[in-house]
Amino acid sequence: MENWPILSIITFTPLIGVLFILLINSDDEIGQRNIKLVAAYTTLVTFVVSTLIWINFDITT
């Protein structure tokens, strides 16, 4: 896990989610639901990665 650019993943995951949201047609109810799902999944991924950082944090350094 030391070789992963984990802070970059946390930083750019919401940006990638926004780019996906921009591609969704929001004129109908299904599009609006899909926007909410993309936002929820993006938030979930960011939260999980942040939790991994917290769990693997070495308090002795």
How do residues 20-44 score in pLDDT, each as one tens digit? 999 999 899 999 999 999 999 999 9
Taking 80 as the threshold, does the pLDDT of residue 1 lie above it? Answer: no
User: Alpha-carbon distance 28 to 49, whole Å?
Assistant: 32
Q: Answer yes or no: is 45 within a domain.
A: yes
Q: Is 41 in contact with 14 (CB distance < 8 Å)?
A: no
Look at residue 2 in the predicted model and tell me its pLDDT. 65
Q: How many domains does the chain have?
A: 1
This prediction's pTM: 0.81
Q: Answer yes or no: is 46 within a domain.
A: yes
Domain that holds residue 35: 6-55
The string of pLDDT tens digits covering residues 3-17 is 778 889 999 999 999
Query: Which token pair is 57?
Result: 């944090």
